[in-house]
Structures are given as C-alpha cells and as structure tokens.
Structure 1
C-alpha cells in the first residue's frame, strides 16, 4: 500500500468515525430533549394536580364554614315555629289583663299577671324579644307593618306611628312578627 492509499483509508476511517460521533451526539441531544420534555411534562402535571388539590381543599373549607353557619342558624331559630304559635297566647294575656284591670277582683288580676310574666320570661330566655314600638316613633317599613293610614292629628305626627294595634317580636336578630301600626299622613 502506498502512502496515498493509507492516507485515503485513514481519512475514510476518520470520516466514518466523525459521522458516527455526529450521529451519536445527535442521538444524545434528542435523548436529552426527550428527557427535558418528559421532565417538563411531569412538572406541568404536578402543577395541575397541585392546583386541583388546592381548589378541592378550598371548596371543602368553604363547605365546612357554610354548614357550620347553617347549623348555628338552625339552633338559633329552632324554636321559631313554637314561638310564633305562642304569640297569640301572649296577645290574649294582654287583652285579659286589660279587661281584668276594669274589674274589682285584684287577686285574679295578680294571678293572671304572674302567669303572663312567667310565660314571657320563659320565652325571653329562649331568645324572644318584644320589638319596642310606641306612639310617636318614626315609621320604618322594614320594621313596622302599616295596616292603615289616617289623617295625622298634628303636623308633627305625619309619617309617625299613631297607634300600635299588635306588638311585634323578634327571635335573635330576626323579626318573626312585625308590629302592626297605624300611621299618620
């Protein structure tokens, strides 16, 4: 073999090795790209799952707060139906005491008054409160229930309560019966 042939053989071998090296480098680069894209995909999946978890956790916390608030409200107004059904009894006591005050029988008046006070105190201990309304108060449509309007006896009484027909009651913060009033116009 001549030097020329040897040189050509070496060049072919080097060229072949360079081709294999370039191919190997490209393969390694492609593998690295696949690994990076695989790693990025896993990171994205992890971020999505974290977000789902956080949303689910926040939704559960809101559910717990809402049910707790509903439960407290239920306990607060649990006896509302019973209270509303006893309000006419309180009205009857007021009417009975009004009529008994006209008679001479003071012992009966005292007895009925004691029973009325006992009932009122029992209901008060359960959260029932009388809505304070008196003649001359300013009419408030959110609190009072106007059953009629009459001409005001004076200019000062326009838009004010002239008479309270029926007392109002609240249970906690909620009005369960609005006071029925007559308003001057």
Structure 2
C-alpha cells in the first residue's frame, strides 16, 4: 500500500503540477489573444482613421490642383479672347486702310480737277471697294424694300403712317436706315416706316 500511496502521490503531484501549467498556458494564450485583439482593434481604428485622413488630404490636393488649373484656363482664355478681338480689329483696319488711301487720292484729285463726272466715278469705285471689304468680313445687308413684309427679327418700325395703297397695310412703306447682319447675327436693325 505504501507503494500505491507513493504512486498516487506522484500522480497527484504530476496532475497538480500539470494542471497549473495547463491553466497558465491557457491563460497566457488567452491574454496573448486578448492583447493581440486589443492591439488589432486600435490599429484598425487608427488605420481606418488614417485612411480617411489620407483620402481627405488626397481629395484636398486634387481640388487645389483642379482649382488652380481652372484659374489658369480662365486667365488664358480671357487673354486669348482679348488678343483675338484686337487682332480681328487689326485685320479689319488693315483692309480698310486701302479704302482710306483711295479716299485721300480722291480728295487730292477733287482739288486739282473740276470734272464732276470723274470725281463721281472715283467715289463710286471707292464705295464699291469699301463695300466689298465689308462683305469679305461677313457683313450682309438686310433686305427691307418698299412693299416687303415687316419682320420683327430684322426690322425696327420707327413710325406708322396711313398706307398710301391698300396692299401696303402692315408692310414696309419706306426705309429710313438700312440694316446689317454680321455672320448671320443682326448688328443693326433696318429702321422702317410701316403702313397702317
């Protein structure tokens, strides 16, 4: 029995010794897992927060770049528009200089010659040249003849008079000032008198 007691004591010692080791190992494993979870949770929160902050910073950077690009584009287009307007005017003036030269020559010849017929021919030539330069630039005359239909989009009625003939009621009776279009856009309405 003494042997059995010794064996039982040894077993109980072994079991006693083994149990706390198992418990300690389980406790260690549990605490390691808890610590890892605790470490992971703040990391995930921080990493999610950091991701959001990085996204915000990236979006802000993109916004600032886009805004500066738009401002540069706006400045560049306004500058180009001004240059285009000034060069368009320069081209028109350059073409009109030839007409101005012709007027100066006509004025000189008027003082030298007293022949009305040659002066009239010279003025007609200058007028035709001037008209052709303007037509090349896209200028068109708006048709507004006596007896034509009154069109609000092209005509401006400055007054209304009793129609001299029955067929002129509501139509153009007289043209006071011609109207013009520039590239299909009305730049001056034809001023007309209509019949009532």
TM range (shorter): 0.5 to 0.7
1:181 corresponds in structure 2 to: 192
**Deviations 1:86-128, CA, capped at 9 Å, x for gaps:** xxxxxxxxxxxxxxxxxxxxx5145224314414522541435
1:115 corresponds to:
123
Is it true that 1:25 corresponds to 2:30 in the alignment? no
Question: Is 1:34 aligned with 2:46?
Answer: yes
Count of aligned pairs between the two proteins: 160
Gaps of 5+ in 2: 1-9, 97-114
Query: Offset at 1:131?
Result: 3.0
CA distance in 1, matches of 2:190, 2:147: 14
Q: Larger radius of gyration, structure 1 or 2?
A: 2
Q: 1:163 to 1:73 in 2, by over 3 A?
A: same
Structure 1 alignment gaps of length 5 or more: 84-106
Structure with more of its chain in helix, by fraction: 2
CA distance in 1, matches of 2:28, 2:68: 57
Question: SS where residue 46 of structure 1 aligns?
Answer: helix
For residues 14 and 8 of structure 1, what CA distance do their matches in structure 2 show? 10
Greater relative CO (CA pairs within 8 A, separation 6+): 1
Supply the RMSD in Å over aligned alpha carbons.
3.7
Aligned to 2:55: 43
After TM superposition, the structure 1 = structure 2 runs for residues 1-185 of structure 1, keeping only pairs within 5 Å, are 2-26=13-37, 27-47=39-59, 49-50=61-62, 53-54=65-66, 57=69, 61=73, 64=76, 68=80, 72=84, 76=88, 108-122=116-130, 124-126=132-134, 127=137, 128-185=139-196
